[in-house]
Amino acid sequence: MKICFSKTNQRSGFLAGGRRVPRLLLASLLWVPFCLVDAAADDWLAWRGPHRDGVSHESLPAEKLVADGLQVRWRGEVGTGFSSFVVADGNALTIGNSESVDTLFCFDAESGELNWRYSYDAPLDDRDFEGGPTSTPTVHEGRVYVLARQGDLFCLDLATGKVVWQKQIVDATNIRIPGWGFGGSPQVFGDRLLLTVGEAGVAVDLADGKLVWQSGDKEAGYASPVIFDWQGKTLAMFPSGRSFSAVDVATGEAIWQQRWLTSFGCNAADPIVHDGHSFLCSGYNRGCALLRLTDDDPEIVWKHKLMQNQMNGCVRICDALYGVDGDLEAEPTLKCIDWASGEVHWADDSIRPGAITATREHLIVLTTEGQLLLGSASTTGFEPLTELKVLQGKCWTVPVLANGSIYCRSASGSVVCVGMK
């Protein structure tokens, strides 16, 4: 989860005429397109999961969900913030803030017992929202990487919580902090840790945090780096407040830059790269576009304002994009649009979605008021197979499915692990 917010923003978004999407027959919802997966459980090591796309490769048993529903396995409190969960080697980790101190919590993923915690000074910084951490930890080969909003970067041992190394990234790079602090989550590639810092990213060495390369001193955006292969090179796409840049991970060279002006510099939703194309989306009346990657600058295939991700990005399942459209403080809409054309398949304004994740068959939706809904991913509409009230208060943080459990949190810091009965 990454936050950028303004009280002056007006609600935007397309509501399909303001009508609720008709309910579908249950039998039709149990049908899914031919994108089926194995049921193998999987850890969730970083923001947006193993494939960095918000889609789990686990399967949810639809018939059992309908028959038995969901139940809470454990609860906890971590302090204010919007950091999502990562799940690794039997541990579930997230970050919260209490009394101007951030704390990284490491719970037993099954029982909720606290294994360890690590704290560091960090202002709540609650301008225009609740405040607290907005990036999510990353786990790689037994280490945990955390980037705080003010630029403190930590590497900790997953088993013990002891600090391996730490660095102040602003001091190391002389790059300014964006308006709502650093919100992008660290991403690992090879022996490098990629950070949304500066105009087009920063890379440090995983082993010791030493700077490998950096970009210019312009305000970063709030999305996380997205890594992809293109024409024999590994690139990472980084947001700034005015653009998205594709950067050669090896050298830090910007290969191309797509101008993308958004109010308040709030490019917070992660791009999606697939099959030689990239989908960009932002809120605040910016809208979205599908770009075709070329030997030169990208070409726009289509663009419109009928999907606007203010905070969290869409997920792509088969040939459709599913996401939260509009201002989360107003009346957000759950919406499905076509990947190739941008056509709106449906829009449901009845459930006030706060954040979504998915499997390749189902959507997992957490509403802004803490209702958890699971339903089939379909281009004809969304019908919950099961739902459960799991949290109170504001819920904008993306839920996580890992090893058969769903982990959710609220802005105030209540956390919950949910499973099937």
How many helices and strands, by DSSP H and E, does the chain display?
A: 3, 33
Q: Which tokens belong to 330?
A: 């107003």
pLDDT(55) > 80: yes
Does 24 have pLDDT greater than 60?
Answer: no
Q: How many CB atoms lie within 10 A of CB 49?
A: 25
What pLDDT is attached to residue 40?
Answer: 59
Entry pTM: 0.91
CA distances from 370 to 239, 363, 393 (A): 29, 16, 7
For residues 70-97, give the mean pLDDT. Answer: 99
The tens digit of pLDDT for each residue in 182-207 reads 999 999 999 999 999 999 999 999 99
Q: What is the dihedral of CA 179, 183, 189, 190, to 10 degrees?
A: 80
Q: What's the burial of 421, exposed, middle or buried (CB within 10 Å: 0-12/13-18/19+)?
A: exposed
Q: How confident is the model at residue 48 (pLDDT cuts 50, 70, 90)?
A: very high
φ and ψ at residue 63, rounded to 5 degrees = -65, -40
What's the average model confidence in pLDDT over 353-367? 97
pLDDT of the residue at 32: 36
Rounded percentage of the chain residues whose pLDDT exceeds 70:
90
Which H helix or E strand runs over 241?
Answer: none
Q: Is the pLDDT of residue 37 over 60?
A: no
Identify whether the C-beta of residue 171 lies closer than 8 Å to the C-beta of residue 177.
no
In the chain, what are the domains? 28-420 (2.130.10.10)
